[in-house]
Amino acid sequence: MSTYKPESAVLYDGNHGSGSIRKPRPYDLPITPFTSSQFHFEKGQFTAEASTLGIKPAAMPFVRLFSDACDVGIAIKSDKTGQVVRYYLKNIEWKYSTGTHVDDEVVAWHFRPVDRDCHNEGTRRTRVVILND
């Protein structure tokens, strides 16, 4: 089982499973993808608990995606096709226990696919949810 290790990030290769490899743009940053087998996939949504992905408590499950923007996200590599798709952070779901930020807790991180990585409409409709367990 692979774990999230930003210090060992590899350059995103953009393999779309069709035998062609898209060269990364100069502003694509290195990212180590999770594998699709680390997620439960149902109805277009990848779901996993942070601990299952090797994310330590209080750590963020994402890295910066581009050098020229502040977007953060993750990447998932398909076990079937080898295609890597990056997902940007769309929303953080919070649990407000007392109404103060001190006691707030992250429930889940919600991600959407980066348009440039979508090779078909099915990929474009996928979503990722990482639960903060």
> Given the structure tokens 């409409």, which residue do they identify?
121
Q: How far apart are CA 72 and CA 89, in angstroms?
A: 6
What's the predicted TM-score (pTM) here? 0.75
Under 8 Å between Cβ of 69 and 57? no
pLDDT reported for residue 62:
85
pLDDT, one tens digit per residue, over 59-81 is 777 888 888 888 889 999 999 99
Q: Is the pLDDT of residue 57 over 80?
A: no
Hey, what long-range contacts does 105-112 have (CB within 8 A, 24 or more apart)?
A: 105/132, 106/132, 107/131, 107/132, 108/132, 109/61, 109/62, 111/62, 111/73, 111/74, 111/87, 112/87, 112/88
Q: How far apart are CA 112 and CA 86, in angstroms?
A: 8
Comparing C-alpha atoms, which of 38, 130, 111 is closest to residue 73?
A: 111
* Residue 129 CB neighbour total at 10 angstroms: 18
Domain boundaries, given as residue ranges, for the chain: 6-131
Pairing type for strands 84-95 and 72-77 reads antiparallel
pLDDT reported for residue 131:
93
